Structures are given as structure tokens and as C-alpha cells.
A = this chain, B = another copy of it.
Amino acid sequence: MDTRDRLIESARELLWERGYVGTSPKAIQAHSGVGQGSMYHHFTGKPDLALAAINRSAEELRERAEVAFATPGTPFERITAYFRREREVLKGCPIGRLTQDPDVMADPELRKPVQETFTWLTGRLADLLAEALEDTVDAHATAPALVAVLQGGYVLARAAGSADVHTRAVDGALGLLAGYVAKEGN
């Protein structure tokens, strides 16, 4: 990894774990082993580096989601593959957790990739749901409910100190959904 990459990866890790307000330039330097001068050579400051880190996390989230959505099978099976894919549940979602950072939410540039990621994911799920459920239920409302289950599942898992409740919430959501998957092949 080159210096720029090391800075971005350290910033991602620290933002995920400690949030924006809890991540100082000094901590990023210590974590990456990159000096202050070199850091400011590559990035104008913490917001600039954080933006690169958030963009990379957002890109990774999309790529991983696309892998699951491309699972062979019916639309419902592809949705299920996405919901059941391996996750670092107790660490939470590197994108979702940023919504609790008032400084990220207050900065339109930093908030943009967070907003766009959820808009993309919700739209992608709405398309699959429309295929899976046909007209049995409103895909436009079901899609954000499902994305919320994943995000809220992290909240419950972290509160409980155990990933089990995230699994249970996903089971519950897929269980509700299953009754609407009317025809074989959906």
C-alpha cells in the first residue's frame, strides 16, 4: 500500500470504530505510521481525508451488495443472500454509523456519499422486491423497511453485545416477506 492508501485505510478503520468527532488527525497519523507533513501533502485536512475514506467505504458496500444480488436464484433468494451475507455485526455499518456524527451530517460534502449509498441500496432492493412480490405489497415502502432492519439490527446487536439479535431481526423480516412471495420462481 502506498502512503495515500495507508492514510485512507487508517481513516476508514478509525471512523468506523470511533466516529468522526472521535478521530483526530494525530490518531490517523499514529494508526497509519504516516507523518504529519506527508498527510498534509496528500490531503488538505481531516475533512478531505474523511471524504476519501467515506467514498471508499461506500464503494465497498455497493460492491459487496452487488455480489450478493448477483447470486443465482429467484429475486427472493437474491434478497435473502444479501440479508444473510457475512457482516461484522458488532462493529456496525461503516456508512450507517456516520449518520450519528453531527459533524458529518452538517457537512453537505461528507453527507452526500452516505445519502447516495442508502438511496442506491433502497432503489436496488425496491426493484428486486417488485419482481419478488409482484403487486402483493408496496415495494416502495418495503425496501426502506428492509434497509432499516439491517441498520437497526446493528443498533440492537451493539446494545446487547451479541450478534444474535441482528440475525433474529433479519429472520423476522425475511419471515414476514416470505408470505408475500406468491408464486414459485419469484
Contacts and interface: CB of A to CB of B under 8 A. Distances in A.
A180 to B, nearest CB: 7
A33 interface: no
A1 interface: no
A82 interface: no
Interface string A101-115: 110010000010011
User: How many A residues are at the interface, by size bracket?
Assistant: 35 or more
How many copies of this chain does one complex carry?
2
Interface string A83-110: 0000000001100110111100100000
A184 B140 CA distance: 27
Contact of A100 (B19, B114, B152): B19
Nearest to A160: B115
Interface in A47-86: none
A148 interface: yes
A85 to B, nearest CB: 17
A156 B147 contact: yes
Interface of A: 17-19, 21-22, 92-93, 96-97, 99-102, 105, 111, 114-115, 117-119, 122, 136-138, 140-156, 158-161, 165, 168-173, 175-177, 179-180
10 contacts: A19-B100, A93-B155, A111-B159, A137-B176, A141-B168, A142-B176, A144-B169, A145-B171, A176-B176, A176-B180
